Amino acid sequence: MSISRLMSEQVSRVAPGKGPGAPPAAAEPAAAPPRSDDALTSLTKYIPTEVLTLYLPAVAIVSALDEPLVTPAKKVAYWAFALGLTPLISLLVYLRRRALGRLRVWPSWRDFPLWSLIAATLAFLAWALELPGNPYLEKPAMKVASGFAALLASTILSLLEPIFLRKPA
């Protein structure tokens, strides 16, 4: 799933008129029955496709450097994308979605998408190791293990989502 869709879901949780002093909302509708694609959705929901799409050419560019610089440059790119660009792009997409939804652009702390920013970053850390040219995994067995780790990370993030995004009673 893209960051755009993840942040759209986050913005849809905040409807206009739900601030302090707003009239109470109607009762929440019952949860929809599980769909057959829920397992696939849970595995793909947190893959930050926009950032991974930018990361691939960055790794290709870094790979063209002189040999002693390639591995350190790949590590710098990995961490810069993980800790810098993933949360930044996620936040910018969220703010854009709020603006398009005619909400106040900067959210209150209660509506801040902290979980989504952290989850997207963790998902990038796991999924970027699956891409060719990653700086840490060279042996085939390690790449297979990282594939399992990426799927496990997506599953765990999906399981944790209702805990971190629950609405206060």
pLDDT tens-digit readout, 12-47: 766 555 444 444 444 444 444 444 456 566 667 778
Structure confidence at residue 36 (pLDDT): 43
Spans in the chain with pLDDT lower than 50: 18-36
What's the chain's average pLDDT? 79
Dist CA 60 CA 153 (whole Å):
25
Amino acid present at 7: M
Q: Is 169 helix (H, G, I), strand (E, B) or coil?
A: coil
Dist CA 119 CA 121 (whole Å):
5
Q: Is 167 helix (H, G, I), strand (E, B) or coil?
A: coil
78 burial via Cβ count (<10 Å: 0-12, 13-18, 19+): buried
Dist CA 50 CA 10 (whole Å):
17
- Tell me the HSE value of 18 on the side-chain side, using a 13 A CA sphere: 14
Contacts for 121 with CB less than 8 Å, ≥ 6 apart: 82, 83, 86, 87, 90
